[in-house]
């Protein structure tokens, strides 16, 4: 495939791009909890989810971008946080085509730069996994590279998680994208059988052994998020793994304090 050359913005502040091994692994939960922890530590943080698919028009308040905006920066216009809001629950390129929309990376870059004028650090949440296509010429990985941001990789700790994490790391490192950490997240109920617990622990231990990247988690599954998003996030952001991650981010990323 021939790819158009994408150019990175100059004179950008630093931020962090939160991507994942797959869809549904809990990127939004990680972004929200991390943002609250950073705010608690005095960082003027902003959030973005520039592309979102699978939106429910009857319940716009349940969208990932709206939840992030309402939690972290409620006075900010939703359009500046989420540029492409796509109805169909498909890969972003397919959902954009169904909507008759072309996702423009330069528009996302401009929105990111605009937010950066008023905030110390920007947390940008991706859509789907690292290699999810957002246009015929580019993937989520290309968007990370254009923004010039280091990344945080979110994945599952269950069976198969090692393969997905290692593939995600390979994809990011192949384009010289810095990975500041890996977060293992329980996006559904935590393991209860001894076999499941062994699978989760062994996955995390092997990733630590095989790759020299800081590992955080696994984050607990917070049931409160299912019926009260705000209350659930207030409980989750105090989790030691999130607090440690926030301190790590502040050390690794030269944000504009």
- What percent of the chain has a predicted confidence (pLDDT) above 90? 65
Tell me the pLDDT tens digit for each residue of 85-128.
999 999 999 999 999 999 999 999 999 999 988 899 999 999 99
Per-residue confidence at 198, pLDDT binned at 50, 70, 90?
A: confident
Tell me the pLDDT tens digit for each residue of 124-169.
999 999 999 999 999 999 999 999 999 999 998 888 889 999 999 9
Which carries the bigger pLDDT value, residue 194 or residue 21? 21
CATH T-level fold of 15-250: Rossmann fold (3.40.50)
* 9 pLDDT more than 80: no
Cite the active site residues: 49
Q: What residues contact 194, with CB distance under 8 A and at least 6 apart?
A: none
Query: CA-to-CA distance for 117 and 54, rounded, in angstroms?
Result: 30
Which carries the bigger pLDDT value, residue 124 or residue 195? 124
Q: Which of 13-17, 29-33, 47-51, 211-215 has the lowest mean pLDDT?
A: 13-17
Domain ranges of the chain: 15-250
Pairing of strands 179-185, 215-219: parallel
- What percent of the chain has a predicted confidence (pLDDT) above 70? 88
Q: Which of 17-21, 24-28, 124-128, 149-153 has the lowest mean pLDDT?
A: 24-28
Q: How confident is the model at residue 58, as a pLDDT?
A: 60
Per-residue confidence at 2, pLDDT binned at 50, 70, 90?
A: very low
* 255 pLDDT more than 60: yes
* 10 pLDDT more than 50: no
> Where does residue 45 fall: left (phi above 0), alpha (psi -120 to 50 degrees), or beta otherwise?
beta
Query: CA-to-CA distance for 138 and 131, rounded, in angstroms?
Result: 9
């Amino acid at each position: 495939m021939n790819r158009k050359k994408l150019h990175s913005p100059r004179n950008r502040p630093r931020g962090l791009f939160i991507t994942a091994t797959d869809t549904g692994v809990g990127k939004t939960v990680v972004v929200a909890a991390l943002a609250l922890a950073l705010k608690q530590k005095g960082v003027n943080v902003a959030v973005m989810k520039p592309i979102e698919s699978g939106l429910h028009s009857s319940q716009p308040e349940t969208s990932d971008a709206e939840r992030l905006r309402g939690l972290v920066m409620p006075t900010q216009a939703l359009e500046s946080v989420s540029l492409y809001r796509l109805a169909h629950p498909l890969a972003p390129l397919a959902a954009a085509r169904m909507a008759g929309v072309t996702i423009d990376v330069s528009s996302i870059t401009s929105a990111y730069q605009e937010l950066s004028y008023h905030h110390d650090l920007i947390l940008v949440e991706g859509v789907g996994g690292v290699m999810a296509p957002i246009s015929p010429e580019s993937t989520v990985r290309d968007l990370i590279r254009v923004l010039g941001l280091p990344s945080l990789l979110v994945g599952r700790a269950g069976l198969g998680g090692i393969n997905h994490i290692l593939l995600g790391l390979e994809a990011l490192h192949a384009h010289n994208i810095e990975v500041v950490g890996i977060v293992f997240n329980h996006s559904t109920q935590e393991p209860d059988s001894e076999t499941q617990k062994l699978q989760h622990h062994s996955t995390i231990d092997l990733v630590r052994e095989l790759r020299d990247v800081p590992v955080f988690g696994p984050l607990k599954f917070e049931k409160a998020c299912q019926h009260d998003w705000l209350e659930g996030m207030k409980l989750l952001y105090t989790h030691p793994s999130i607090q440690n991650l926030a301190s790590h981010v502040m050390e690794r990323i030269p944000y504009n304090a």
